[in-house]
Each structure stands twice: as C-alpha cells, then as structure tokens.
Structure 1
C-alpha cells in the first residue's frame, strides 16, 4: 500500500487537502542501523514506511524491549512524545534499508488548521494508534509467551524472515532460550 492509498483508506480528503498534504511531506531513505528518533528527543514526525522495516523500542536495565515493528504500508510515531511534544521514552531504529515519508508535527497542525478533513484524518490516525497500543499492552499482560509467539507468527508471517531471533525475543518479552523452546514445540 502506498501513502495515497493509505490516506484514502483512512479518511477521504478534499483535492486541495491532498495537494497540500503531498506538498507537506518529505521522503527520505535510511540505511540499516540508522536512528530516526533517540530516547530523550522530542518526536517531531509521523512516519510512513514506503519500503523497509523499522522498530520502536526502549531499554530498561540494559535489556531491550521492542514495542512494534513497522513494515511497508505502516504509519507510526511515538504517540505520547508527538502529541505532547515532550521527550520520548522510546527510540526508533531502521532494521533494513528503508524509504519513508515524514509529516512533521508543525506541518500536520498547519494542515489541520487549513482543512477540516485533515483534522478528521489526524483523529483517525490517533484513534488507530491508541487501539494498536491497547492491543499490544493487552497481549503482553494477558497472553503467555507461547500465545504471543504463535499470534505473532499468525499476524506477521512475513516478518519472521526479516527480523533477528534476538529482536523477536525482545518483542515477545522473553529470552532467546525460551523462544527456542517455544519454536521447537511447533
């Protein structure tokens, strides 16, 4: 899914709003390992992955916890930092060469002031992000490690060949040894 398909699916925009949105976005490429956001920095952008792979994560006591992976057609930000323009507790890294679109906080708010349909678009983005966040929290709190693994395999089979076992175990909140045991049970 490209960016135009994404925003058309999310909410219909007027032709003028579409043109202004296209003028407001910037397209970048990044190499594997590049940081798009460091912990402690304010998240200034909403990102859309055209191709490639990114992750949001944080460290606690030298252990990495991965919140989400983002593949082609995904839109994401560090929501609390972006909305409040406060320092982020999370970081964003590129896991493979990636082309992505950025829409800045400032540009988004200018678009919302100019176009009512962009306010609705923004609300839909935030609502979707909130729902995804609640789903992630629920799976971490309610599902055991095996359930989390098999749900991941079912929902994101294309990622299994693209992420390391270390990243998968950090996403699932388990050790690589535990992941190996779960995978052996299949």
Structure 2
C-alpha cells in the first residue's frame, strides 16, 4: 500500500499482544492477556481453580483453550439431564468441575501431532459442546462454584456414570451414579449428602 507509518508483523495463525503504540481506540480488537497460562501449563492448584482448560476437539483435530467455568457449563447439560432436580444438578456440577480440575493439574496427554491437552471433548473424558449451556445447569454451576471437593486435601478425579449396572466394575467410593443422584435428590437428599454417599473420604469446602 506504500504505507510508511509504524506497523507490526504477525506470522500466519500467530497470537500476540499488539504493540501499545499501535493501539487503535476505535478498533474492535480484543487484546490477549499476558498474565494467563500459556503452552501446556495451568495456573490452577489444589486450592485454586484453573483459569482455563485445554480441550482436544477430536473431530476437528485441534486443541482449544477454554475458560474453565464456560467449560463446566458446556459439559453439565450433556452429562446430566437439565430438567433433573436442582440438588442432582449441583452434585453433577461439582463432579464435572472436579473431573476437569483434576486433569488440568495432572494431564500429560498429547494429540497425534504432539499438542498437549487436558481433556477430550467426548466420553473418554466429559462431553463438551460449546454453547450448549442451559439455564438450570448453569445455575447449579454458579451455586456451587465456590465449593471444592477434596480427598486428603487434594482435588480428586470425581468419576461418574449412568448406573451401577453400566459401571459395576468401577471401585465403589470413587464414582457417582448420575441416575442415582437424580433419585436421591427426588427423595430429598442435598447435593452434599449425595456426593458424600458416592465419594468416600471427601471434604466439601471453599
């Protein structure tokens, strides 16, 4: 174009912060944070939620870094029925959150092309569908977001499955029945009682 002013080059597909001197106050760019996790690292710990999680979108063969709360909200309605009782949905919200949190801390998985990721977007981990959040399931996530499930002070892998028949070979005390959580909620159980019934030796705290 013959433009002689200041400019900044980006390689194809690259993401970086725009030089502050080039910032156009009228532009619609979203500036990338320089404080968030990068690469394979997480900023989460056993006492601090991760900001994001690396999701392997298997059908697209790519890894996406997803806001962690958005991830949980876009998993729960695909693992729990959104019309189920609120206490069941809250129990599910905490299980979904803990499962993702655990793998954000401990995953060493790689895609066939060598990219690191934390969770698959299907039943090998949890079913994640972007934009699938429902009002009831999101409310359950919001209501329990400040609660941690730990065992001996550590975030644990809160597994769950549809029924005892489907998952009978799993170790009791390490997984929750999804339909069982529904039935217990219908019987008046609180989400904390449901969780403590299925997961042995756990603590619910902030």
Q: TM-score, normalised by structure 2?
A: 0.25
- Of structures 1 and 2, the larger Rg is shown by 2
**Relative contact order higher in (CA < 8 Å, ≥ 6 apart):** 1
Question: Which structure has the highest strand share of the two?
Answer: 1
Question: Which structure has the highest helix share of the two?
Answer: 1
